[in-house]
Amino acid sequence: MNCNTIVIEDLDKFYGKKQAINQLTLTISQGMFGLLGRNGAGKTTLMKVLATLLSKQSGTVSVCGIPVDNAKEIRRIIGYLPQEFSMYPSMQVEEALDYLGVLSGLDKAQRKAAIPDLLEKVNLKPQRKKKVRSLSGGMMRRLGIAQALLHDPKVLIVDEPTAGLDPEERIRFRNLLCEVAEERIVILSTHIVGDIEATCEQIAILDEGNLLYNGTVMDLIMQAEGKVYSATVPLNLAAQVKKEYMVTGISPQGKKSVIRLISESTPDIAAIPIEPNVEDAYMYCLSQNNGGAW
């Protein structure tokens, strides 16, 4: 069995009676893997199952050949950055990393070697003596990624790491993730399509616990070929167009609006076909699952 693979077969996860993941089958290989979906799609649930924070009802999940039921061994090889990362507020940054390093099973020498490099990597060295409570949102995320990488995990699971960050911070975060993905599996969940576009080759799309798509970004885009159009309409008609078609972008230009829309067949309004982007393809995929509704 390939050590750099996560294999998921027929995974079910319920919260009470609500099914959060439904018969999911997926294989994730080395590199950046994107997990896309709406809020409540099951992305966080899947990540928590992989991180052994949640138990599964049925199915099999193995990470580098280790069944996920063997929580202790799994936690040795995974690094997890939760959707809302926080740490003990009174700890200093360096202290927090040191403590989490102990919890990761690293001895003093290993922590002494790893921490300065990581602080450098995530650019938190100037803040190493600052208390956690005084860090900004971006700094907290960087601390989060640093603690996830501390023990050099084979798998890095990051749950919506760029939500709430401004564009410049988001770009730097993505670059960091790409860098670390060269040597390991990185699973990135997000509802920001731009994150996926910039970093991931392979993606999966979840919706209401079901797997809608699993493959490359390019293949996803190709599915939406010929379904995306651009129409220029007067401003006062834009609202009507929005009601009739799935609109993925509106750009006001003086007294007109340039509308980007998705349609199975040629729209009734004057529109020209255009090349789909990832966002278009994602919206198209979701709408297919909902019987054309959006």
Partner 1 sequence: MSALLSNVQIIKSNLKNNLFPHLILTLLLFLLTPAIFSISHLNARAAAAPMETFVALCGMLLLTPIYYPEQKGVINETVEAKYVNHLWIIFLRFLTAWVLTALAILLFAGIMLYCGSTITGRLILGTFASAIFLGALGMLTSCISENIAVGYMIPVIYYAFNFAMGPKLGNFYLFSLTGDSFAEKPWLVGGSIVLAAAAFGVQYVRMKRR
Partner 2 sequence: MFLKECKKILLSIPYIIIAAILIVFFYTQFYVGINADLTAPQPDDPAGYGYYTQDDPTLIMPAATDSLFLEFLNNAYIAYPQGFYKNVTLSDSDQAQIAEILSKITGVPTEDFLAAEKEERESSSTTVIDAGEEAKAEDGSIYIIPNNLTEVDRSGTLDISVREDLSYEEFIALMDQADKIIGGESYYKRASLASHFGQMPKDYTQAMADYEALLENGAGVALSRLFSDYLGIFATLLPVFLAVWLVMKDRAARMNELVSTRQISSWKLIGVRYLALVCMVMLVVFVLAGITATSIYSICGAIDGLYMPFVFAIGWIMPGIMISASLGMILTVLTGTPAAIAVFGLWWFLSLTSNVSNIYGNYENFTLIPRHNTIENTAYFTENLRALAENRFFYVALSIVLVLFSMYIYEAKRRGRWHVSIIKQRSNHQIEFEE
- Which residue stretch of 23-31, 73-81, 209-217, 225-233 sits at the interface with partner 1 (rule: CB under 8 A)? 73-81
Number of H-type helices and E-type strands within the chain: 10, 14
Q: Which of residues 13-72 bind partner 1 (CB under 8 A)?
A: 48, 51-55, 72
Return the closest-CA partner of residue 105 out of 77, 143, 124, 71: 77
Q: Which does residue 134 touch among partner 2, partner 1, none (CB within 5 to 8 A, set by kind)? A: partner 2
Q: What residues numbered 71-90 form the site for partner 2, per CB under 8 A?
A: 84
Token output for 25: 């089958």
- Enumerate residues 146-205 that contact partner 1 by CB under 8 A: 147, 151
CA Rg value for the chain: 21
Q: How far apart are CA 181 and CA 11, in angstroms?
A: 25
For residue 134, the minimal CB distance to partner 2 (Å) is 6
Q: Is 144 in the site for partner 1 (CB under 8 A)?
A: yes
Q: Say how far apart CA 11 and CA 20 lie, in whole Å.
A: 10
* Cβ atoms 161, 144 nearer than 8 A: yes
121-160: contacts with partner 2 (CB under 8 A): 123, 126, 133-140
> Minimum distance from CB of 250 to partner 1 (Å)?
36
Count residues contacting partner 2 (CB under 8 A)? 17
Cα separation values, 113 from 107, 147, 242, Å: 10, 14, 56
Distance CA 19, CA 26 (A): 18
CA atoms within 13 A on the CB side of 77: 20
Per-position DSSP letters for 19-42, written without gaps between them: EEEEEEEEEEESEEEEEEE-TTSS
For the bound state, the minimum distance from the C-beta of residue 147 to partner 2, rounded and expressed in Å, comes to 17
Minimum CB–partner distance for residue 165 and partner 1 (Å): 18
3-state DSSP helix/strand/coil % of the chain, to nearest 5: 35, 30, 30
Nearer of residues 65 and 252 to partner 1, judged by Cβ: 65
Q: Is 10 in the site for partner 2 (CB under 8 A)?
A: no
With contacts defined by CB under 8 A, how many residues of the chain interact with partner 1? 33
Rule CB under 8 A: is residue 244 a binding residue for partner 2?
Answer: no
Contact residues: partner 1, CB under 8 A? 48, 51-55, 72, 75-76, 78, 80, 82, 84-91, 95, 98-100, 102-105, 107-108, 144, 147, 151
Contact residues: partner 2, CB under 8 A? 84, 123, 126, 133-140, 164-166, 168-169, 172
